[in-house]
Amino acid sequence: MDHPEITKLYKYYADKERVIEILKTERIWYSKPERFNDPFDCDIDIASNVTWDQFAEIIRVEGKQLNKSPAEIEEKIRAVRSESPAAIDEYRARVREGVERVRDVLRGQGVLSLSSIPDSIPMWGYYANGHRGMCIEFHRAARNALGSSATREVHYTSDYPDVSFIDLFKRPGYLSKTVVRTKSRAWKHEKEWRVVLTNGDILYDLPGEITGVLFGLSTPEEHKREVAELVKDQDGIMLLQAIKVKGRFRMEFVDYAG
């Protein structure tokens, strides 16, 4: 498991209804990327232009996959270059179609966005209804989905990554990892992790056990009592209350007294 030191991941919610539904059903919503609030997110271009050198490289990759000898592969390249000058144009058309199919697949994936930090003042502000919402704490371990290859941290950068059609052949999984898990550096403070599954806009089983529900600085008392009543007989779920750290722009959590 990558980053074994990260044993908790968090999901902020603006209203108690979503939290209560998750606690009751033990299922959670995975959104398609098109529903994200950042129009740059998951909209990275995939270059589909093909040069002769790239075309030859693809023939080599495909030849190795078919267990062809180096001599056979090079002979194929020479034959295509000398006898089939239109082959590159045909291949370019196939590449464009293939890239669009890949983009459709990526657009249809389901993404659950989490954070490795529970005490972000901005995230409590804009994801948890001005600190009136709640935050669910999940346990991350090698035995659950949060510790699997489906879950990875987001990479933040100032520039779009360089993504080419050739990555389809040479680096399986690279496009999904790069397109779905790369965001603008402007979001770096969120310390986001993403669980990525095949289909989006679907409820899935929880990716890890719920170990806590965190209440914001302004979560209504009746909402807290409702959640407390729901989990009172469930072992392993802590209820925590956010408080201000005196003299600092910080918040911390203490046990919720009820």
pLDDT of the residue at 160: 75
Q: Which two tokens stand for residue 46?
A: 């995939």
DSSP type of residue 31:
B
pLDDT of the residue at 38: 72
What 3-state class would DSSP assign to 226? Answer: helix
Does one domain contain both 102 and 125? no
Nearest to 193 by CA among 109, 108, 112: 112
Does one domain contain both 150 and 222? yes
Q: Is residue 3 in a domain?
A: no
The region that residue 142 occupies, defined by phi over 0 for left and psi between -120 and 50 for alpha, beta otherwise, is alpha
| Domain containing residue 196 | 8-44+110-163+172-255
Does one domain contain both 122 and 27? yes
Does one domain contain both 153 and 33? yes
| 161 close to 171: Cβ distance less than 8 angstroms | no
Spatial neighbors of 74 by CB under 8 A, at least 6 apart, are none
Tell me if the pTM is above 0.75: yes
pLDDT of the residue at 256: 95
Nearest to 118 by CA among 7, 236, 232: 7
Does one domain contain both 137 and 183? yes
Cβ count near 24 (within 10 Å): 9
Q: Which two tokens stand for residue 50?
A: 């093909």
Domain-ending residue, one of 64, 90, 106: 106
| 165 close to 91: Cβ distance less than 8 angstroms | no
Does one domain contain both 60 and 93? yes
pLDDT of the residue at 107: 82
Q: Which two tokens stand for residue 235?
A: 């072992």
- pLDDT tens per residue across all 258 residues of the chain: 889 999 999 999 999 999 999 999 999 999 998 877 777 666 666 666 677 777 787 788 888 888 989 888 888 888 877 766 677 777 777 777 777 777 788 788 899 999 999 999 999 999 999 999 999 999 999 999 999 999 999 999 888 777 777 776 666 667 767 778 888 899 999 999 999 998 999 999 999 999 999 999 999 999 999 999 999 888 889 999 999 999 999 999 999 987
pLDDT of the residue at 17: 96
DSSP type of residue 236:
T
Cα 178 to Cα 161: distance, rounded to the nearest angstrom: 7
Does one domain contain both 102 and 136? no
Cβ count near 115 (within 10 Å): 21
Q: Is residue 240 in a domain?
A: yes
Cα 249 to Cα 145: distance, rounded to the nearest angstrom: 34
Cα 141 to Cα 9: distance, rounded to the nearest angstrom: 11
H or E element in which residue 177 lies: helix 174-180
Does one domain contain both 87 and 177? no
Does one domain contain both 154 and 182? yes
Please classify residue 16 by burial: count the beta carbons closer than 10 Å to its beta carbon, then call 0-12 exposed, 13-18 middle and 19+ buried: buried
Q: Is residue 1 in a domain?
A: no
* Residues pairing with 184 in the sheet: 157
Domain-ending residue, one of 106, 121, 152: 106
Does one domain contain both 123 and 244? yes
Number of domains in the chain: 2
Does one domain contain both 14 and 30? yes
